[in-house]
Amino acid sequence: MDQRALRYEQLSDELASMIAGRILRPGDRLPSVRRLASEKKLSVSTVMQALRQLEERGQIEARPQSGFFVRLPMAGQNPQLEPHTRQRLSRPVAVDINNRLMRALSLCDRPDMVPLGSALPAADLLPIASLQRLYRLVGRQAGALLDADSHAGAGVNHPDLVRQFVRHSLTWGQPLETDEIVVTNSCTEALALCLGAVTKRGDTVAVESPSYFLMLQLLQHLGLKALEIPTHPRHGISVDALEIATRERRIAACLLVSNFSNPLGSLVPDPEKKRLVELMAARQIPIIEDDIFGQLHFGSNRPWPLKSFDTTGNVMYCTSVSKTLSPSLRLGYVAAGRFQADIQMHKILTSGNTNPVTQALAAHYMASTAYDRHLRGLRRALAKQVMQMSEAVLRYFPPGTRLSQPQGGFVLWVELPAGIESAGLFEDAVNAGIAFFPGELFSASGQYRNCLRLNCGNPWSSRFERAIKQLGALAANYVTAAKPR
């Protein structure tokens, strides 16, 4: 073996044993290539060779502009750990989750609870101080925003904000068009407007399984039925199953999150996105796409949304700044394609224009270089937090636990061993001061009773480690109780 080969293998062994000995833990950043080279007195290419070897073995991963990070031991897509999701199509069902959900939300709404419930990023991760400064600036400069004319105008949008939304879509296969955008009070409003525009009571809407509970609540509120489509934990909604469903029955719309779904964190691959968009256009079934997590990718590139494959205006693209700037701004938009005029009218009739001061504030912030910097930092922090939470779940939950491997966003989906009902665990957890959401809230047909969703929006600390350990112990009590004597 030549000297160089020996040196890179030595370095990769050394790093591997630090990972095995947990000196370097999942989510930790390795020292930079330049630092390793200088401290170990090696060439940059020898260090790179060592790191590439660890990368090929699945022990570390490269993140653009950030360096190399330790991966979870399970990373490398261990199917034994992948959660089970619905495999077969069944019939559309009426949704009835509202009361259960409101109860869960109210039980978790205590300031002392460990916040593993609602999918919210910690305030420390958001640019609150910058937004506060901008409020003063916008307030001073924009007296006109508060006068009656700005409210009575026909346009609901602040043009600077729309320009920012379009600017951020320039890297997609097909950017957004300025005149299809309707600025809304949040993503929730955007979704509700879209459903209102293309469905009527009794219609069936195709959704992922599991799907985000707020979407199910909207269906319930509008008297719509949910048709749960099989969804792969990593690759998202099954286009094959959707295709069969569209042949079997009339579907009024398809409502989904193709980039980092909530709760699975799944990502639909580009060829499947294209196929899905073409299929729905051919069948004239509108797509309502929620891309609220699209900017929070852990990999190098921002995945394109379904919207960027849309050539017929059939996709209504909804998002908001709730996960990236602040959920309290209540600011989102829909790029509504061929439904724009209808949606704009619904918007004006139901809530009028979106607050112009908030729009101006967000436009200012999004135009600054601070915005891109903030997003880079946020992605890095969330990727690390998801990894730390995953590792703790694997360590403290009973054997047989499975969990999602999100490639973006910040929720984790956990499947407990068969027989453990997360609804019971939820009551125990609430009593112990720990919030989470039981799996059955993510299904209109009451599936996923042994699953739960965890919010990873907070920086990891001993408080969260203790909470996961306690949740794991509470879950283990059910395993013991379920065992035959």
Q: What's the closest the beta carbon of residue 402 comes to ligand PLP, in angstroms?
A: 22
Taking CA atoms, 110 is separated from 8, 115, 431, in Å, by 53, 9, 11
- Cβ-contact 417, 160 below 8 angstroms: no
Count of other CB atoms within 10 angstroms of residue 237: 26
Beta bridge partners of 320: 332
For residue 483, with 0-12 CB atoms within 10 Å meaning exposed, 13-18 middle and 19 or more buried, which class applies? exposed
Q: What's the closest the beta carbon of residue 121 comes to ligand PLP, in angstroms?
A: 10
Site residues, ligand PLP (CB under 6 A): 119, 186-188, 212, 214, 257, 262, 290, 292, 320, 322, 327, 332
Q: Which is nearer to ligand PLP, 51 or 190 (CB)?
A: 190
Q: Which is nearer to ligand PLP, 98 or 141 (CB)?
A: 98
Beta bridge partners of 255: 207, 288
Q: What's the closest the beta carbon of residue 215 comes to ligand PLP, in angstroms?
A: 7
- Which of these, 92, 108, 110, lies nearest to 100 by C-alpha position? 108
Q: What's the closest the beta carbon of residue 190 comes to ligand PLP, in angstroms?
A: 8
Tokens of 48: 């790179």
Q: What's the closest the beta carbon of residue 329 comes to ligand PLP, in angstroms?
A: 9
Q: Which is nearer to ligand PLP, 189 or 391 (CB)?
A: 189
DSSP state string for 334-365:
EE-GGGHHHHHHHHHHHT-S--HHHHHHHHHH
Tokens of 268: 């639909």
Q: Which is nearer to ligand PLP, 233 or 327 (CB)?
A: 327
Q: What's the closest the beta carbon of residue 334 comes to ligand PLP, in angstroms?
A: 11
The CA distance from 40 to 432, in Å, is: 48
- Which of these, 75, 116, 106, 85, lies nearest to 450 by C-alpha position? 85
The CA distance from 256 to 268, in Å, is: 11
Q: What's the closest the beta carbon of residue 14 comes to ligand PLP, in angstroms?
A: 41
Q: What's the closest the beta carbon of residue 120 comes to ligand PLP, in angstroms?
A: 7
ω into residue 233 within 30 of 0, thus cis?
no
Q: What's the closest the beta carbon of residue 276 comes to ligand PLP, in angstroms?
A: 17
The CA distance from 428 to 474, in Å, is: 7
Residues in Cβ contact with 468 at an 8 Å cutoff, skipping those fewer than 6 apart: 389, 392, 393, 396, 397
**Residue linked to tokens 């009070």:** 185
- Which of these, 262, 214, 249, lies nearest to 444 by C-alpha position? 214
The CA distance from 360 to 143, in Å, is: 12
For 32-37, which contacts have Cβ atoms below 8 Å and span 24 or more sequence positions? 32/67, 33/67, 33/68, 36/11
**Residue linked to tokens 């590792």:** 391
Q: Which is nearer to ligand PLP, 333 or 478 (CB)?
A: 333
Q: What's the closest the beta carbon of residue 24 comes to ligand PLP, in angstroms?
A: 32
